[in-house]
Amino acid sequence: MRYISTRGSAPTLSFEEVLLTGLASDGGLYVPESLPSFTSAELEAMASLDYPSLAHRILLPFVEEAFTGEELREIIDDTYAVFRHSAVAPLVQLDHNQWVLELFHGPTLAFKDFALQLLGRLLDAILKRRGEKVVIMGATSGDTGSAAIAGCERCENIDIFILHPHGRVSEVQRRQMTTLSAPTIHNLAIEGNFDDCQAMVKASFRDQSFLPDGRRLVAVNSINWARIMAQIVYYFYAGLRLGAPHRAAAYSVPTGNFGDIFAGYLASKMGLPVAQLMIATNRNDVLHRLLSTGDYARQTLEHTLSPSMDISVSSNFERLMFDLYERDGAAIASLMAAFDDGDITLSDAAMEKARQLFASHRVDDAQTLACIADVWGRTEYLLDPHSAIGYAAATQPGANTQTPWVTLATAHPAKFPDAIKASAVGTTAQLPVHLADLFERSEHFDVLPNDIAAVQRFMSGHLGA
């Protein structure tokens, strides 16, 4: 499998090279040159596979130049063995045609564990093989940070720097990152918002000359293809539980950086019947407005009860645009250059294509709280605020009621006690045993100004030998 850039002029890469890369050299994002796909008969045969076996079946074509089937199997088995539910991604039914896909049974209680536990193991194997040391740099609005640190802590050959917006993640999220201490782990609280953090990460990938000794940056954000790849699997897992290939389901996805829902789009291109992909946003609704109007317009970020979705520049939308524009890299390069200078409008043809599969819905904080309370009142099931946005979108008046809906529950409610309290359900969610003493652990982080030079100086001054 070769990987190509969405902007058309960077070299094509192998999986191993893509894993070790962030942005393509032309500023684009890597996508597979072609996708494997599964026939109905193959899907029928896959329906009986457990999660690790299904992951192996789906992921092998993407990585087979770098890993043998046996090597991948061992890594996948090890990855999903650390999840606290033996189904790995269990489905819970909340209503006649409403299911929740629980993606929070990994070590850091968010869907990021699915990809980052795997990415850490793949990276470790490749770095050992190459005898190379790398520098991991990532931006987080709350969940990627701890999942990346937890996923990569076993890697011997890394330094890791995670940027989070100071004071804008939940206390549990912050503590999950900052209480993991090792000389190679650095949490940087940036006096800015997530967009600022992500922009610094992307700029650092574009020009890595601040790193000494020719070291390179590796991405843990969803600009790294391996992140997206791993997330494809749970769409198949849920779809097959609900009757694929004979019945299509619709998926409602709490969306920020567009990585999770893009994985659902790829699953549909690989043969999974998908009735609809619902882009569920909070008040930071750039993607909802884009889908409604065709205008891709930047927005001032607002702080919401769903902080992990407080994002206004959704990196992975570029990957979808590449397909919407018939994989014309030059067209994407010029559109993204125009986007750097201001707002852009997508062509009618591109929007028509997007709307064939995608719909969108915006849910504000009051609606989020009402959804948490309503679902709790009817079912005693506690949604976290991100998952509640997905569920509210799937159950909005006007949503298709004939189709089975799967809402991706992207985080555990215990990560957001303040939002749960504000919903007035009169209950709280307990942290699992391995995090029970989280509030007693000591924290380690540095507060830095919203200034890339300061961040890069910090990084180059804190690299291990």
Residue 386 binding partner per list ligand PLP, ligand LJ64HWYM, none, with a CB distance cut-off of 5 to 8 Å that depends on partner kind: ligand PLP
CB 188 within 8 A of CB 164: yes
Map residue 308 onto helix, strand or coil. helix
Pseudo-torsion of CA 36, 41, 42, 46, nearest 10°? Answer: 140
Nearer to ligand PLP, 222 or 456 (CB): 222
| Among 204, 257, 304, 368, interactor with ligand PLP by CB under 6 A | 257
Q: How far is the CB of 141 from ligand LJ64HWYM (least distance, A)?
A: 4
Q: Note whether 259 binds ligand LJ64HWYM by CB under 6 A.
A: yes
Read out DSSP for 98-165?
Answer: EEEEE---STTSBTHHHHHHHHHHHHHHHHHHHT--EEEEEE-SSHHHHHHHHHHTT-SSEEEEEEEE
Q: Which 208-227 positions form the footprint of ligand PLP (CB under 6 A)?
A: 222
Q: Encoding tokens for residue 131?
A: 């005898």
Q: Does 221 bind ligand LJ64HWYM (CB under 6 A)?
A: yes
User: What does DSSP assign to residue 12?
Assistant: P
Token output for 12:
């094509």
Residue 369 DSSP symbol: H
Q: How far is the CB of 307 from ligand PLP (least distance, A)?
A: 8
What are phi and psi for residue 100, nearest 5 degrees? -115, 130
Of the residues 21, 79, 255, 367, which one makes contact with ligand PLP according to CB under 6 A = 255
Q: For CA atoms 56, 57, 59, 60, give the dihedral sign.
A: positive
Q: Is 215 exposed, middle or buried (0-12, 13-18, 19+ CB in 10 A)?
A: middle
**320, two tokens:** 């979808």
140 binds, among ligand PLP, ligand LJ64HWYM, none (CB under 5 to 8 A by kind): ligand LJ64HWYM
Question: Residue written as tokens 């591109």?
Answer: 350
Q: Are 321 and 350 in contact (CB under 8 A)?
A: yes
3-state class of 410 per DSSP?
coil
- Round to the nearest angstrom and report the end-to-end CA distance of the chain: 34
Pick between residue 309 and residue 375 the one whose CB is nearest to ligand PLP.
309
Which of ligand LJ64HWYM, ligand PLP, none binds 254 (CB below 5-8 Å, type-dependent)?
ligand PLP
CB closer to ligand PLP, 211 vs 392:
392
Please identify, using beta-carbon distances, which residue of 98 and 410 lies nearer to ligand PLP. Answer: 410
| Minimum CB distance to ligand LJ64HWYM, residue 26 (Å) | 20
CB of 158 to ligand LJ64HWYM, least distance (A): 17
3-state class of 272 per DSSP? coil
Kindly write out the interface string for residues 135-164 of this chain, putting x where it contacts ligand LJ64HWYM by CB under 6 A and - elsewhere: -----xxxxxx-------------------
Among 308, 360, 387, 395, indicate the residue that binds ligand LJ64HWYM (CB under 6 A). Answer: 308
Please report how close the Cβ of residue 390 comes to ligand PLP at its closest, in angstroms.
8
Among the listed residues 205, 208, 196, 209, the one whose alpha carbon sits nearest the alpha carbon of residue 224: 205
Structure tokens at 55: 């992951």
- 20: alpha, beta or left, given left = phi > 0 and alpha = psi -120 to 50? alpha
- Candidates 120, 386, 399, 423: give the one binding ligand PLP (CB under 6 A): 386
For residue 421, indicate whether it is catalytic.
no
Residue 260 contacts ligand PLP per CB under 6 A = yes
Q: 221 contacts which partner out of ligand LJ64HWYM, ligand PLP, none, CB within 5 to 8 A by kind?
A: ligand LJ64HWYM
Nearer to ligand PLP, 176 or 257 (CB): 257
* Residue placing its CB nearer to ligand LJ64HWYM in the complex, 108 or 456: 108
Please say which residue, 230 or 393, places its beta carbon nearer to ligand LJ64HWYM.
Answer: 230
Residue 394 near residue 408, CB atoms below 8 Å: no
279 within 8 A of 261, measured Cβ to Cβ: yes
Binding test (CB under 6 A) with ligand PLP, winner from 106, 107, 192, 259: 259
Identify the bridge partners of residue 295 per DSSP, sorted by sequence position.
345
Cβ-based neighbour number of residue 316 at 10 Å: 25
Candidates 71-79, 252-260, 374-382, 421-429; binding stretch for ligand LJ64HWYM (CB under 6 A): 252-260
Min separation Cβ 110 and ligand PLP, Å: 5
Residues annotated as part of the active site: 112
Q: Which residues bind ligand PLP (CB under 6 A)?
A: 110, 142-143, 222, 254-260, 308-309, 386, 410-411
Q: Which residues bind ligand LJ64HWYM (CB under 6 A)?
A: 140-145, 221-222, 256-257, 259, 308, 315
